[in-house]
Amino acid sequence: MRVCMSVAGSDSCAGAGIQADLKTFAAHGVYGLTAVTAVTAQNTCGVQEVQEMRPGIVQAQIDCLFQDFFVHAVKIGMLSSAPIIEAVAESLDISGRPPVVLDPVMLSKSGHELLAGRDRQLLIQRLFPLADVITPNLLEAGLLTGEELSTLGDMERAAKTLRDRGARVVIVKGGHLRQAPGTDVYCDEQGTQQLPGEFVNTSSTHGTGCTFSSAIAANLALGCEILEAAQRAKVYTGRALAASRPLGRGHGPLAHFQN
């Protein structure tokens, strides 16, 4: 059986973070492992509180799993501080590491800051070179490049800039793009291309980015090349959005098992 590891925060309403990753892995027939970086008190309306884990326990979780399992892919989500970033980087900076998908989570759906601005450069320096794929959304790509993104051209330039900083492949997600909502930009050593998709009009969008990145990791674990993994993940996430039903009073979760 193929195995994926999620290194991310816990979401108490189970729509995003570790919980969304485990659901996505299971929906793909992949066994999921977890290294929890933080515990959040949140619901569909927003994040109320965050308790960061000690860097040592984060690193111990990752290391002990690598010692016991053959891990086929790693997905990284919420890393809330510089010490956590350093701990994760140290554990992953090993020879023969599996493919790594980095979702640079910085803000929650409700706008709560999950990674301080002063730590963003460290994320780039320490984890971009270890990542096979990074998956920022429009806002995250803008924060990482210092540019405001509003067009597909902006997304293409941002993707190239971020790839120049060390990641093998960059996928800038365009779910909130006015020009062509649902279209992502994929950038590798050959250049950029657009990944079109249908915009799903739903309020149940909590955990969309987590789901997309963990679906890429699951497909990489199943043997897909990166572009195919991204395309499959995009289809899966779109179907999970389309099948979602309202839960909670805010942005509800996706329907991970309705594909």
**Catalytic sites, residue numbers:** 173, 205, 207-210
**Torsional sign, CA 29, 30, 31, 32:** negative
Q: 102 forms bridges with which residues in the sheet?
A: 76, 134
- Here the tokens at position 152 are 């597909």
114 residue type, one letter: L
- For residues 139 and 223, what is the distance between their CA atoms, to the nearest angstrom? 31
b/e map of 20-51 (b: 16 or more CB within 10 Å)?
bbbbbbebbebbbbbbbbbbbebbbeebeebe
Q: Among residues 115, 196, 123, which one has the least CA distance to residue 165?
A: 123
